[in-house]
Amino acid sequence: MKVVIPVAGIGTRLRPHTHTAPKALLHVAGKPLLGHILDSLKDLDFEEITFVIGFLGDKIIDYVKKNYDFKSRFIEQEELLGLGHAINIAIDEDEEDDILAVLGDTIVEMDWDGIIGKDKNFLGVRQVEDPRRFGVAEVDGKRILKLWEKPQDPPSNLALVGIYYIKDTQLLKESLREIIKSNIKTKNEYQVTDAFQVMLEKGAEMYTFEIEGWYDCGKSETLLETNRHLLDVCKECAPDIGGSVVIPPVFIDKSAKIENSIIGPYASIAAGVTIKNSIVRDSIISVDAIVVNGLLTGSLIGDHAEVQGHFEKLNVGDSSQIGY
């Protein structure tokens, strides 16, 4: 089995943070999104992981090589032509291994044993209130009858949520080439959902599997929601801190310096952070940031940013200064 992780997206909904870092490297509950994803895969039996990179892709390469020792390769998506295009360039022409594709901006909780090694094609799904921004499946039991990409009138609320296990790898490659050659686009992009529909039309059988926990990290609000969930299930995430109050759940890196402050609940404090005379709750404070005389709630503070004397909800990019 080979794993494909597309991480080329620009992440416009997470600006200003994605001006200086790929979305997959934004921190949540003590580590980058990509770190949570890779940790969930590390016990699987795979040959290699292919990362499809784009803007600031060198940072993805550095992070993976410094923190993981599995076989990896990196392919640049020079034009952002959609998820279907990204997966197409990641799969070799003569590829015969099973493919597990995992989106690089979504954290899931699931039983991999339910799909890996099975002689079926599986697409991960979840019931959502508004499926119009997803691929949508029409099913008979668990067997998929038809797929739509971002339909305005969805036939069901069963959304595809970015986990795909494909046994018919050559048929997937053929179907991806077909939609690209025929210029079949949805929302001006080549979508993998459209390629899956071509596979169905060519006789492939595809089945759904329910994702137990699915945590979208595509915008600031959902990033903070995911941070709260991960902290709820985190164990031993905070060292003892003298002279300050810690209200669990929190993550505090051992290298952070906390003085005369209240941290938590739901605060994630990264390596090298300094916090003095402040209250920080329901916030993500990234690497080497400084917070002094502040009260932060529902805030995202970027790497090396400095915040002083502010009592509000902030969204501050890397190396910015507020109140200095």
Query: DSSP state, 75?
Result: E
Instruction: Round to whole Å and give the CA distance between 50 and 44.
Output: 15
Q: What is the pLDDT of residue 186?
A: 85
| CA distances (Å), origin 243, targets 48, 238, 259, 263, 272 | 47, 14, 6, 12, 18
Q: What is the pLDDT of residue 87?
A: 95
Contacts of 310 by beta carbon, 8 Å cutoff, 6+ apart: 294, 295, 296, 322, 323
List the beta bridge partners of residue 88: none
Helix (H, G, I), strand (E, B) or coil at 241: coil
Instruction: Round to whole Å and give the CA distance between 231 and 225.
Output: 10
Instruction: Round to whole Å and give the CA distance between 22 and 19.
Output: 8
Instruction: Round to whole Å and give the CA distance between 169 and 176.
Output: 11
Q: What is the pLDDT of residue 273?
A: 96
Q: What is the pLDDT of residue 237?
A: 67
User: pLDDT 10s digit of each residue in the chain, 324 long?
Assistant: 899 999 998 877 878 887 888 989 999 998 999 999 999 898 898 989 999 999 899 999 999 999 999 999 999 998 889 999 999 999 988 778 899 999 998 888 888 888 888 889 999 999 888 888 888 999 999 999 999 998 888 888 899 998 999 999 999 999 999 999 999 988 889 999 999 999 999 999 999 999 988 887 878 888 899 999 999 987 666 677 888 999 999 999 999 999 999 999 999 999 999 999 999 999 999 999 999 999 999 999 999 999 998 778 888 888 777 776
Contacts of 238 by beta carbon, 8 Å cutoff, 6+ apart: 246, 248, 250, 251, 252, 263, 264
| DSSP annotation string for 253-308 | -TT-EEES-EE-SSEEE-TT-EEES-EEESEEE-TT-EEES-EEES-EE-TT-EEE
Region for residue 323 given its phi and psi (left: phi exceeds 0; alpha: psi -120 to 50; beta: otherwise):
left
Domains for the chain: give ranges and CATH numbers. 2-216 (3.90.550.10), 236-322 (2.160.10.10)
Distance linking the first and last C-alpha atoms of the chain: 52
Contact between residue 72 and residue 64 where contact means Cβ atoms under 8 Å apart: yes
Establish whether the linkage from the previous residue to 6 is cis, with ω within 30° of 0.
Answer: no
Helix (H, G, I), strand (E, B) or coil at 212: coil
Of 290, 300, 295, 259, the residue nearest 280 (C-alpha)? 295
